[in-house]
Structure 1
Amino acid sequence: MAAQLPSSFSERMMDMLGTDYNQFADSYKETPYGGVRVNTLKISVESLKALSTLGLEPIPWCPTGFYTENGARPGKHPHYHAGLYYIQEPSAMAPVELLNIEPGDRVLDLCAAPGGKSTQISAKLLGEGLLVSNDLHPERTKALAKNLELYGVRNGIVLNESPEHIAAAFPLFFDKILIDAPCSGEGMFRKDEDMVKQWDSGTPAKYASMQRDILRSAATALAPGGILVYSTCTFATEENEEIIAEFISEHPQFSVVTVGGTGSFAPGFGELSGTARLWPHKVKGEGHFMAVLQHGGIRLSMEERDHIEVKLNESARTTVPKGAAHVKSSNKSEGRRGKEGKPSHKPTGGADRGRQVSGDEQALTAYGNFVRDQLGWEPKGYPVLFGDHLYISPLPKERLNGLKTIRPGWYVGQIRNGRFIPGHPMATALHPEESCRSVSLSSTNHEAISYLKGETLSISQERLSIRIGSAQKGYVLVCIDGYSAGWGKWQDGILKNEYPAGWRWM
Structure 2
Amino acid sequence: MTKQLPPLFRDKMMDLLGEEEFELFLSSYDQARSYGLRVNTGKIAKADFLEKSPFALEPVPWTSEGFYYEEGERPGKHPYYHAGLYYIQEPSAMAPAELLQVQPGEKVLDLCAAPGGKSTQIAAKLQGEGVLVVNDNHSDRVKALVKNLELFGVRNAVVLNERPERMLNVFQGYFDKILIDAPCSGEGMFRKEEDMMQQWERHTVQEFAEMQRELLGQAAQMLAPGGTIVYSTCTFSPEENEAQIAEFLDKHPVFEVVPVTRFEAGHPDWLREPWCEGDYSPRAREAVAGTARLWPHRLRGEGHYVAVLRKGYGVVAGMDEGTVAGTEKGTVADFVSASGAGARSGREALRGKGRAGSDSRVSLEPLQAFENELLRSEPFAELRLVCYGEHAYASPANLPELHGLKVVRPGWYIGALHRGRFEPSHALAMGLRMREAKRALSLASSDERALRYLKGETLEVAESEIIRDPEVTKAAKGYCLVCIDEHPVGWGKWLDGMLKNEYPPGWRWT
Output the TM-score relative to the length of structure 2: 0.88
Pairs within 5 Å for 1:248-267: 248-261=249-262, 265-267=263-265
Is the partner of 2:481 in helix, strand or coil? strand
Pairs within 5 Å for 1:16-165: 16-18=16-18, 19-165=20-166
Letter in 2 for 1:496: K
Is the partner of 1:15 in helix, strand or coil? helix
Deviates more, 1:127-136 or 1:377-386: 377-386
Is the partner of 2:180 in helix, strand or coil? strand
What is the Cα deviation at residue 298 of structure 1? 8.1
**Aligned equivalents of 1:428, 1:397: Cα separation in 2:** 23
The RMSD of aligned alpha carbons is 2.4
Residues 255 and 425 of structure 1: CA distance in aligned 2, closer, same or farther (over 3 Å): same
**Aligned equivalents of 1:444, 1:22: Cα separation in 2:** 48
Is the partner of 1:489 in helix, strand or coil? strand
The question of whether the paired residues in 2 share the 8 Å contact of 1:254 and 1:294 is answered with: yes
**Aligned equivalents of 1:173, 1:390: Cα separation in 2:** 25
Residues 60 and 396 of structure 1: CA distance in aligned 2, closer, same or farther (over 3 Å): closer
1:420 aligns with 2:422: yes
Percent identity between the two aligned chains: 53
The question of whether the paired residues in 2 share the 8 Å contact of 1:225 and 1:298 is answered with: no
**Aligned equivalents of 1:479, 1:376: Cα separation in 2:** 16
* Residue in 2 that maps onto 1:374: 374
* Residue in 2 that maps onto 1:217: 218
What is the Cα deviation at residue 445 of structure 1? 2.9
Letter in 1 for 2:303: G
**Aligned equivalents of 1:390, 1:176: Cα separation in 2:** 28
1:313 aligns with 2:333: yes
Is the partner of 1:313 in helix, strand or coil? coil
Residues 19-52 of structure 1 show CA distances to partners (whole Å, capped at 9, x for unaligned) of 2110110000012111100011111111111111
**Aligned equivalents of 1:346, 1:397: Cα separation in 2:** 19
Residues 292-334 of structure 1 show CA distances to partners (whole Å, capped at 9, x for unaligned) of 00001289xxx999x94663516x77xxx993499xxxxxxxx
* Residue in 1 that maps onto 2:466: 464
- The runs of at least 4 consecutive aligned structure 1 residues that moved more than 4 Å come to 349-353, 395-398
Is the partner of 2:450 in helix, strand or coil? helix
* Residue in 2 that maps onto 1:227: 228
**Aligned equivalents of 1:188, 1:240: Cα separation in 2:** 15
What is the Cα deviation at residue 93 of structure 1? 0.3
**Aligned equivalents of 1:388, 1:128: Cα separation in 2:** 26
* Residue in 2 that maps onto 1:290: 306
Letter in 2 for 1:493: G
Is the partner of 1:231 in helix, strand or coil? strand
What is the Cα deviation at residue 117 of structure 1? 0.3
1:447 aligns with 2:449: yes
* Residue in 2 that maps onto 1:8: 8
Residues 282 and 441 of structure 1: CA distance in aligned 2, closer, same or farther (over 3 Å): same
Residues 396 and 105 of structure 1: CA distance in aligned 2, closer, same or farther (over 3 Å): closer
The question of whether the paired residues in 2 share the 8 Å contact of 1:382 and 1:396 is answered with: no
Unpaired segments ≥5 residues, structure 2: 269-285, 316-321, 343-349
Match of residue 485, structure 1, among 485, 489, 506: 489
Deviates more, 1:199-208 or 1:167-176: 199-208
Is the partner of 1:228 in helix, strand or coil? strand
Is the partner of 1:164 in helix, strand or coil? helix
What is the Cα deviation at residue 383 of structure 1? 1.2
* Residue in 1 that maps onto 2:345: none
Residues 397 and 44 of structure 1: CA distance in aligned 2, closer, same or farther (over 3 Å): closer
Is the partner of 2:10 in helix, strand or coil? helix
Is the partner of 1:384 in helix, strand or coil? strand
Equivalent residue pairs, number: 472
Residues 390 and 310 of structure 1: CA distance in aligned 2, closer, same or farther (over 3 Å): same
* Residue in 1 that maps onto 2:365: 365
* Residue in 1 that maps onto 2:389: 387
Structure having the higher helix fraction is 1
* Residue in 1 that maps onto 2:506: 502
Unpaired segments ≥5 residues, structure 1: 327-344
**Aligned equivalents of 1:206, 1:347: Cα separation in 2:** 40
Is the partner of 1:54 in helix, strand or coil? coil
Is the partner of 1:218 in helix, strand or coil? helix
Residues 398 and 129 of structure 1: CA distance in aligned 2, closer, same or farther (over 3 Å): closer
What is the Cα deviation at residue 131 of structure 1? 0.4
Is the partner of 1:199 in helix, strand or coil? helix
What is the Cα deviation at residue 440 of structure 1? 0.8
**Aligned equivalents of 1:250, 1:191: Cα separation in 2:** 35
**Aligned equivalents of 1:324, 1:216: Cα separation in 2:** 29
**Aligned equivalents of 1:202, 1:433: Cα separation in 2:** 51
* Residue in 1 that maps onto 2:273: none
* Residue in 1 that maps onto 2:282: none
**Aligned equivalents of 2:418, 2:338: Cα separation in 1:** 25
Letter in 2 for 1:405: V
Is the partner of 1:182 in helix, strand or coil? coil
Is the partner of 2:464 in helix, strand or coil? helix
**Aligned equivalents of 1:134, 1:107: Cα separation in 2:** 11
Match of residue 274, structure 1, among 290, 293, 298: 290
Letter in 1 for 2:266: G
The question of whether the paired residues in 2 share the 8 Å contact of 1:325 and 1:402 is answered with: no
The question of whether the paired residues in 2 share the 8 Å contact of 1:3 and 1:196 is answered with: no
